[in-house]
Amino acid sequence: MNDCIFCKIVRGELPSFNVYENEKVLAFLDIHPVNPGHTLVIPKKHSPNIFEVLPEDWASVTETARMLAGVLEKTLSAKGVNLMMNNREHAGQLVEPTHVHIIPRFTDDT
Ligand code: 5GP
């Protein structure tokens, strides 16, 4: 067991609004959304960042992000979608485990 906040979400020890999951990944709404539908995709197996995530886990994260980008754009009637990832503190990573942001974009949301 570790104290990682997202691992606690995976284990169901912290609340989350889950959007999708399979055996390798979990996707859930960001607690401080930039826009409605702002979703995080994480590998269920803990890794700190892009430099250490297992290739097969990364493949599942990116395929899930690709799939959810389309689902979120359509269901929220968004005008586009940003995919984003921060790696290491200097690059803006605030929460350690590997995660990809999916941010639906709307008219005049800048
Ligand atoms: P980053 O590390 O890429 O800068 O962003 C981390 C993201 O995780 C932030 O957008 C933040 O709102 C989100 N976040 C931090 N703690 C929690 C949490 O406990 N639950 C959820 N759903 N999101 C979180």
Mutate to test the pocket of ligand 1, among 17, 30, 87 (most ligand atoms within 8 A of CB): 30
Bridge partners, residue 39, by sequence: 29, 102
Tell me the pLDDT of the chain (110 aa) as tens digits. 688 999 999 999 999 999 999 999 999 999 999 999 999 999 999 999 999 999 999 999 999 999 999 999 999 999 999 999 999 999 999 999 999 999 999 999 97
Residue with CA nearest ligand 1 atom 12: 32
Active site (annotated) includes residue 99: yes
- CA of 99 relative to ligand 1 center, distance in Å: 9
Please answer whether residues 40 and 30 qualify as being in contact, where contact means their C-beta atoms are separated by less than 8 angstroms: yes
Cβ(43)–Cβ(54) below 8 Å: yes
Atom of ligand 1 nearest to the CA of 38: 10
Does residue 108 contact residue 35 with C-beta atoms inside 8 Å? no
Cβ atoms of 72 and 60 within 8 Å: the answer is no
Q: Whose CA is nearest to atom 21 of ligand 1?
A: 31
> Would you list the DSSP string of 46-99?
--SSTTTS-HHHHHHHHHHHHHHHHHHHHHTT-SEEEEE---SGGGT--S-S--
